[in-house]
Amino acid sequence: MNTVQSKESNQNPLVSVIVPVYMIDRYVGICIESIIHQTYPELEIILVDDGSKDRCPEILDLYASKDSRIKVIHKENGGLVSARKAGLLASSGEWVTYVDGDDWIGTQFIEKLVRAQQETDADMVCAAQTRVIFDKAVELYNALPAGLYSKEEKGAFSLSGLQSRMMSCGAFYRPGITTYVWNKLFRREVLYDAQMNVDEKISIGEDAAVTYPALLKCNFVAVTENTEYHYRQREDSMLKQSEGFAAEAGKLRSLLEYLLVWERQVKKELGEVAVRNLHIPEQITDYVLSICIMRSGGRLPEDDYSTFDKAYYGKRVVIYSAGTFGQQLVNRFRETGHCRVVGWIDDDYWEYRRCCMNVDPVEAVETMDFDYVLVASVSEDFGKEAADRLAGHGVTPRRILTVTVPNAMERRGDLVRRFLYGNHSHA
Q: Which CATH number goes with the domain that contains 365?
A: 3.40.50.720
Q: Write down the pLDDT at residue 425.
A: 47
226, 205: one domain: yes
In a domain, 222, yes or no: yes
Cα–Cα distance for residue pair 254/420, rounded to 1 Å: 10
Tell me how far apart the alpha carbons of residues 124 and 121 are, in angstroms, rounded to a whole number. 9
Half-sphere exposure of 111 (CA within 13 A, CB side): 16
Q: What is the pLDDT of residue 241?
A: 62
Same domain, 286 and 360: no
> Where does a domain end: 196, 211, 238?
238
Give the whole-angstrom CA distance, residue 326 versus residue 311. Answer: 18
Q: Is residue 277 part of a domain?
A: yes
Helices within 19-173 (DSSP H only): 28-36, 56-66, 80-90, 109-120, 159-163
CB 223 within 8 A of CB 120: no
Give every residue of the chain whose pLDDT is below 50, as ranges: 1-10, 424-427
Q: Is the separation of the CB atoms in 112 and 42 below 8 Å?
A: no
pTM over 0.85: yes
The reply to whether 7 falls in a domain is no
Amino acid identity at 143: A
Position 43 scores a pLDDT of 98
pLDDT value of residue 171 = 83
Q: What is the pLDDT of residue 238?
A: 65
pLDDT at 155: 65
The domain boundary residue, chosen from 238, 261, 282: 238
In sequence order, what are the beta bridge partners of 50? 75
Shared domain for 110 and 191, answered yes or no, is yes
Whether residue 147 sits in one domain with residue 204:
yes
Q: Could you give the angle at the alpha carbon of 125 between the alpha carbons of 63 and 380, nearest 5°?
A: 110
Q: What are the Cα distances from residue 202, in Å, to 101, 206, 211, 252, 417? A: 19, 6, 14, 8, 18
Cα distances from 293 to residues 204, 376, 401, 420, in angstroms, run: 14, 10, 15, 11
Domain identity same for 276 and 318: no
Check residue 257 and give its pLDDT.
Answer: 97
In a domain, 8, yes or no: no
SS3 of 71, please? strand
Same domain assignment for residues 95 and 174 = yes
CA angle 123, 164, 17 (to 5 degrees): 30
Same domain, 321 and 187: no
Q: Are residues 227 and 256 in the same domain?
A: no
Report which residue type is found at 219. Answer: N
Answer whether residue 159 is part of any domain.
Answer: yes
Q: Does residue 60 contact residue 29 with C-beta atoms inside 8 Å? A: no
Number of structural domains in the chain: 3
270 within a domain of the structure (yes/no): yes
Residue 406 domain flag: no
211 within some domain: yes
Expressed as residue numbers, the domain containing 183 is 15-238
Cα distances (angstroms) measured from residue 261 to each of 47, 282, 407: 31, 15, 25
- CA distance linking residue 206 with residue 200, whole number of Å: 9
Asked if residue 252 and residue 213 are part of one domain, the reply reads: no
End-to-end Cα distance, the chain: 54
Q: Do 369 and 224 lie in a common domain?
A: no
Assess contact for 382 and 392: CB atoms under 8 A.
Answer: no
CATH number, domain with residue 143: 3.90.550.10
CA 232 to chain centre: 13
Contact between residue 31 and residue 5 where contact means Cβ atoms under 8 Å apart: no
CA 15 to CA 99: how far, in whole Å? 12
Residue after which a domain boundary falls, among 198, 216, 238: 238
Is there a single domain that holds both residue 265 and residue 231?
Answer: no
Return d(Cα 197, Cα 217) in angstroms, integer.
Answer: 14
Same domain, 78 and 192: yes
Judged on CB neighbours under 10 Å (0-12, 13-18, 19+), 397 is: exposed
| Separation between Cα atoms, residue 324 and residue 352, nearest integer Å | 12
- pLDDT number for residue 5: 42
Which residue pairs, CB below 8 angstroms and at least 24 apart, start in 421-425? 421/253, 422/302, 423/302, 423/303
Cα distances (angstroms) measured from residue 345 to each of 86, 209, 362: 42, 33, 5
Q: What is the pLDDT of residues 304-335, one digit of tens each?
A: 899 999 999 999 999 999 999 999 999 889 88
CB 275 within 8 A of CB 222: no
